[in-house]
């Protein structure tokens, strides 16, 4: 793809507007996971080193558009960045997009972009306001690259130069490495609660992976082809589609499961085969035989794509399947790429950040890239590159 890259542009002394993905969990103004902020820092730090005037914007959560809500304010993130960016002047702005005056090497953090009316609808007037803030726009929010919104897409129509930041470039390189010419065997793990939201990615992965391991509600839908699964989470409308995939491709379905009668963190688990699950029981994790089988497959793999937990890992008695998969991937010499919000939470829980080859900050964007869809933000960067080449 032909796009401008931050690393090839002269940004010294220029005003750069960085669209980061700082959408992290915050409770009582305390950041619960730093993963996405830490991933965004190299781009911010490079801009400071290049003596650019740095403006940072991001969304946080899902506030009512156009309405300030303290719960979704980026102020705690501003305070975090102020501590991280030592010897750098860092300011906070309540989205006043007219009077932002900073010196080279200084940083200003804008308030949540979703407090601005028109952000979600990709409003041209708002996109122009963003564009007027800067000389160069740096798109670095891979986690929002699939959204056609003013701060991720619309701005590209009005800014002179739009380029990719370090995180976005690294995401593209890592995903292409896993998808285009992977070392084999390639094993994909697809977990999570709903099979319907992941059927497109399952179709894509089936065509490129040697083995697919399904977990969570997705695995339950495959189990329901031949078994009664009690009150387990399942999407009955997708059983026929699941059967077509299972019969055509190498999809590993659990041969035993950890079940419970109540969906509660104190519920104890019992291991059962799919033939013995009763109406009042619920599948919530892999059983030990399934775990052994999956670990054996993962140990032989050369490339691993991991999206989603395989059980209710938040509950201590239904964590083992996800934990064993996480630790096996961490100890593997295979090239591993992991993505999705719940996957990041698992990685944090077991403290294996340094043992995954690449951790994607994207959830929906990660899945859409795997599906082969053109992400709107990347399309915007390509169009901007083309426009600049024509004008030059």
Annotated binding residues, written as ranges, equal: 21-23, 36, 59-62, 114, 147, 198, 314, 340-343
Query: Is there a catalytic annotation at residue 217?
Result: no
Q: Which of 157, 364, 373, 387 is catalytic?
A: 364
DSSP 274: G
**First CA to last CA distance, the chain:** 19
Reply yes or no on whether 364 is catalytic: yes
Binding-site members for ATP are: 198, 314, 340-343
Give start and end residues of each alpha helix (H) in the chain.
35-49, 75-84, 124-132, 166-179, 199-208, 216-223, 239-248, 288-300, 320-330, 341-349, 364-371, 376-391
**Cα(362)–Cα(368) distance, integer angstroms:** 10
- What tokens were used for 18? 């960085």
The two structure tokens encoding residue 81: 């960045």
Active-site residue flag, 36: yes
Q: Is 309 exposed, middle or buried (0-12, 13-18, 19+ CB in 10 A)?
A: buried
Binding site for (2R)-3-phosphoglycerate: residue ranges?
36, 114, 147
CA distances from 293 to 209, 259, 297 (A): 17, 19, 6
Contacting residues for 230 by C-beta, under 8 A, at least 6 apart = 259, 277, 278, 279, 280, 281, 282, 283
- Active-site residue, 194 included: yes
Q: Choosing from 19, 36, 246, 320, which is the catalytic residue? A: 36
User: Tokens at residue 68, please?
Assistant: 């300030």
Q: Give the three-class secondary structure for 118.
A: coil
User: Which residue in the list 5, 82, 194, 231 is annotated as catalytic?
Assistant: 194
Active site residues: 36, 194, 341, 364
């Amino acid at each position: 793809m032909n796009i401008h890259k931050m690393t090839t542009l002269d940004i010294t002394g220029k005003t750069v507007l960085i669209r980061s993905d700082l959408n992290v969990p915050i409770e009582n103004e305390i950041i619960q996971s730093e993963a996405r902020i830490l991933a965004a820092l190299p781009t911010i730090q490079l801009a400071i080193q290049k003596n650019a005037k740095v403006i940072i914007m991001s969304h946080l959560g899902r506030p009512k558009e156009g309405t300030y809500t303290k719960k979704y304010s980026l102020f705690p993130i501003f305070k975090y960045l102020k501590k991280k960016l030592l010897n750098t002047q860092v300011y906070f702005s309540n989205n006043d997009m007219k009077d932002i005056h900073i010196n080279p090497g200084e940083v200003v953090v804008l308030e949540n972009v979703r407090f601005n009316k028109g952000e979600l609808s990709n409003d041209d007037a708002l996109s122009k306001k963003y564009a007027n803030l800067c000389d160069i726009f740096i798109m670095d929010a891979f986690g929002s690259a699939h959204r056609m919104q003013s701060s991720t897409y619309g701005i590209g129509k009005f800014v002179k130069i739009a380029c990719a930041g370090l995180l976005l470039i690294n995401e593209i390189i890592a995903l292409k490495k896993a998808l285009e010419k992977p070392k084999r065997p390639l094993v994909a793990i697809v977990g999570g609660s709903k099979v319907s939201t992941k059927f497109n990615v399952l179709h894509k992965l089936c065509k490129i992976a040697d083995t697919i391991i399904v977990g969570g509600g997705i695995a339950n839908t495959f189990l329901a082809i031949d078994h009664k699964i009690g009150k387990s989470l399942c999407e009955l409308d997708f059983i026929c589609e699941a059967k077509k995939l299972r019969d055509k491709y190498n999809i590993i379905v659990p041969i035993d499961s950890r079940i419970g009668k109540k969906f509660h963190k104190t519920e104890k688990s019992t291991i059962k085969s799919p033939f013995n699950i009763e109406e009042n029981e619920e599948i919530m994790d892999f059983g030990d035989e399934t775990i052994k089988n999956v670990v054996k497959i993962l140990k032989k793999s050369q490339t691993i794509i991991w999206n989603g937990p395989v059980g209710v890992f938040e509950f201590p008695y239904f964590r083992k399947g996800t934990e064993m998969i996480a630790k096996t991937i961490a100890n593997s010499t295979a090239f591993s790429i992991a993505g999705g919000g719940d996957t990041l939470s698992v990685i944090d829980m077991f403290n294996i950040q340094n043992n995954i080859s690449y951790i994607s900050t994207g959830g929906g964007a990660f899945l859409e890239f795997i599906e082969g869809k053109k992400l709107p933000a990347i399309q915007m960067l390509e169009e901007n590159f083309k426009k600049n080449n024509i004008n030059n």
